[in-house]
Each structure stands twice: as structure tokens, then as C-alpha cells.
Amino acid sequence: MSYKRWIFIAIFLFGIALVFGLATPTGISLPAEYIAALKELSGILVPFNALTVILIFAKNTSTLLLSFALSPIFCLVPILVLTVNGWLLAVISVTVIQEKSLGFLLAGLLPHGIFELPALILGQAAALSFGTMAILALFKRERRNLLLPSLKQNLRYLMVALALLLPAAFIETYITPLLLG
């Protein structure tokens, strides 16, 4: 299967999750433990701080790398990453629009999202592609000789995705706070 098809599959999974997130009833509240953890995290991730860039980049990079590494387990992790991120983006977006405005949401998402969302899609498409090839190679002998070329090709796509995460982290730390005031 061509890599373009994997990109479409990743976009489809993310998009379906967005739709479900938009259809989720508003007013869902997170457990108190999650809210406390988010408040603690917000104290660490302060705007205009190089450490924040490093932490955001490390978190996003580790998510992509872990997803890629675990993708041979029935592609569950890439599917989960795409759907959870799509659903969360939609649920949080609805809440932000209700509490602030569409302009506030766009100012908070678009600058770094231009890099981060393509990185997510490209990285997870590579994970899905590699994971599927690994599963096929496990069950079909004639596919085993395709596993190494698939790994090499998908690692290239993964590196592109990882490269996109650096400007995303920089913009999220230094530009987005300026736009949100």
C-alpha cells in the first residue's frame, strides 16, 4: 500500500474522532486528579521559556517514537493516538469557543498547529504503514523480505514528522502566548 493511502487513513481516523468529539455532550468534567495534574503541568510549561520548548518537543517526539515502536502490536497505539488526539481537540475546541471565542481558539491552535497536525498525521501514517508490514511479515513468509525496506522508508517519513515538531514547539512557546495575550 502506498504511503499516500496511509496518510488518508490517518486523516480519516483523526477526522472521525473529531466528529465524535464535536458530538460529545458539553459539560463533561475531568476527574479532580486530572485537573490537579494539568495545573501542575501548567506551572512547568511557562511561555517564553526554552525549557518549555524542550519539554513540548520531547513529549511530542516521545509520543511519535513510542507509537512507531509499538505499531506492530496490531497498530493499536497509532490508532489510539490519532483518535484520542482528534477527540480531545474537538472537545476542548468546543469548550474554548463557548468560554472565549472562535478567534481565541484559532489564535491558540493555528500557529503551531500548522506544523504539529501534519507531524501527527505523517508520523502516525508511518507507524500504521510499518506496523501493518510487520504484522504481515509475521504471518506471511514472502513479506519478510519487504520488512527492512518498509522500516527504512517509514523511518524517513517519521524523521520528517519529528522535524516538524521542533518549529511547532517553538511557536507554541513563543508566538502563541503573544497571540492569546
Give residue 28's pLDDT band: very low, low, confident or very high (50, 70, 90). low
Q: How far is CA 136 from CA 12, 132, 141, 144, 176, in A?
A: 22, 6, 9, 8, 43
Domain boundaries, the chain: 3-23+39-180
Query: Which of 38-52, 69-83, 87-101 has the lowest average pLDDT?
Result: 38-52
Q: Where are the alpha helices (DSSP H) in the chain?
A: 3-23, 32-44, 50-70, 76-99, 102-139, 147-174, 176-180
- Mean pLDDT, rounded, for 42-48: 81
Residue 106 has pLDDT above 70, yes or no: yes
Q: Coil, strand or helix: which one is 25?
A: coil
Q: What percent of the chain has pLDDT over 70?
A: 94
Distance CA 149, CA 48 (A): 42
| Alpha-carbon span 23 to 2, nearest angstrom | 32
